[in-house]
Amino acid sequence: MQKRKLGNSGLEVSALGLGCMGMSFSYGPPKDVQEMTGVLRAAVERGITFFDTAEVYGPYLNEELVGAALAPFRGQVVIATKFGFNLNPDGSPGWVGLNSRPERIKQVAENSLKRLQVDSIDLFYQHRVDPEVPIEDVAGAVKELIQAGKVKHFGMSEAAAKTIRRAHAVQPVTALQSEYSLWTRGPEAEIIPTLEELGIGFVPYSPLGKGFLTGKMDENTKLESNDFRSSLPRFTPEALKANQSLVDLLARVAQEKKATPAQIALAWLLAQKPWIVPIPGTTKLHRLEENIGSVSVELTPGDLREIDAAAAQITVLGARYPEHIEKMTGR
């Protein structure tokens, strides 16, 4: 497995990480713990060293799963987790608003350390920017945790360029995690140039378009009500049908390269910048292996121009999120 450095931070991880959310949250009921432990350990055996979780995934279940599964590999893997939400007091899935007050950040860190069974959190992201708390206070709280040895690196998620700059001035930001893929290209305008200028790594989540870019979904796909995609504008039958041309493009390139559409989607991301580390999520070993295969797919400058030219002709239908969630991004 190739390695990549997240910006100028010196934090080195596998070129592809593993998003763990779907093992416990959002895509139907939590999966079998033993089975998921097997997938997590298989990922380590295959060279993946970068794992992504958050306290809100479950809540808590995902951090507990990741912490226990990766306990035998302490020092060999990098685990990222997140703060920033008030969770439902009854422990049910979801959240009741944002909360990045310094005292809350410190409380989340203590709890995450226990669940992850580590002495220090490798990468601690602000999950969403909290407009009620100055970003300087957030960065300052994480800086104190870093000085105390409880956190190693500071990250942000779905933040606007100006917010990243303000935070970075207080405590250097190691990585930004935001959605980025062939059907979500918003970060290209302002975010990627800002990260390049500041020396910050980029960790695209949903690099396979929440499963759509794999070519395994179409307008006839039925999503269960406990699958969060059922509430997303981009996953209505009309949108799935309209956006199919993007999958057809990936399938054409995949055929030429003797690869799969998912591998082309990931290879395209990896080819954008050497400090981009996508974190596709999966609960299946064969999908994990397919995703890892993308690291060996070589897209030439000509291939990339061809993909970009074809993608430019396609208008993606549907917003990423319902309006109330969309409002939490780009702040």
HSE-CB of 46 using CA atoms within 13 angstroms: 20
Q: What is the pLDDT of residue 36?
A: 98
CA distances from 304 to 58, 207, 257, 265 (A): 38, 16, 13, 11
In tens, the pLDDT along 138-161 reads: 999 999 999 999 999 999 999 999
Q: Token pair for residue 27?
A: 């895509």
Q: Are the C-beta atoms of 62 and 259 separated by less than 8 Å?
A: no
The three-state (H, E, C) secondary structure of 65-87, written as one string: HHHHHCHHHCCCCEEEEEECEEE
DSSP symbol at 10: -
Residue-level pLDDT at 258: 97
**Residue 171 CB contacts under 8 Å (≥ 6 apart), including other chains:** 139, 140, 142, 143, 146, 154
Residue 28 has pLDDT above 90, yes or no: no
Average pLDDT on 173-179 reads 98
User: What percent of the chain clears pLDDT 70, i.e. is strictly above it?
Assistant: 100
**What is the length of the chain?**
331
Residue 116 CB partners (closer than 8 Å, separation 6+)? 53, 63, 66, 67, 79, 81
pLDDT digits 0-9 by tens, 218-275: 999 999 999 999 999 999 999 999 999 999 999 999 999 999 999 999 999 999 999 9
pTM value? 0.97
Domain ranges within the chain, ordered by starting residue: 3-208+273-295
CA distances from 73 to 47, 66, 153 (A): 12, 11, 19
Spatial distance between the Cα atoms of 202 and 6, rounded to a whole number of angstroms: 7
Which residues, in sequence order, are CB contacts of 181 under 8 Å at separation 6+? 204, 206, 207, 208, 209, 213, 265, 269
Residue 35 pLDDT more than 90? yes
278 and 203 Cβ atoms separated by less than 8 Å: yes
Both tokens of residue 286?
């064969």
- Pairing relationship of beta strands 95-98 and 85-87 according to DSSP bridges: antiparallel
Question: What single DSSP character describes residue 220?
Answer: T
CA angle 206, 166, 130 (to 5 degrees): 55
Distance CA 259, CA 291 (A): 11
CA-CA distance, 11 to 175, in Å (whole number)? Answer: 9
Question: Alpha-carbon distance 323 to 233, whole Å?
Answer: 10
Euclidean distance between CA atoms 46 and 289, whole angstroms: 8
3-208+273-295 topology per CATH: TIM Barrel (3.20.20)
Q: Would you call 57 a catalytic residue per the annotation?
A: yes
Q: What is the rounded average pLDDT of the residues 28-49? A: 97
Residue 317 CA to residue 298 CA, distance in Å, equals 29
Q: Average pLDDT over the chain, rounded to whole?
A: 97
Cis, peptide link before residue 59, omega less than 30° from 0: yes
Q: What is the pLDDT of residues 276-323, one digit of tens each?
A: 999 999 999 999 999 999 999 999 999 999 999 999 999 999 999 999
Which of 27, 57, 125, 205 is the catalytic position? 57
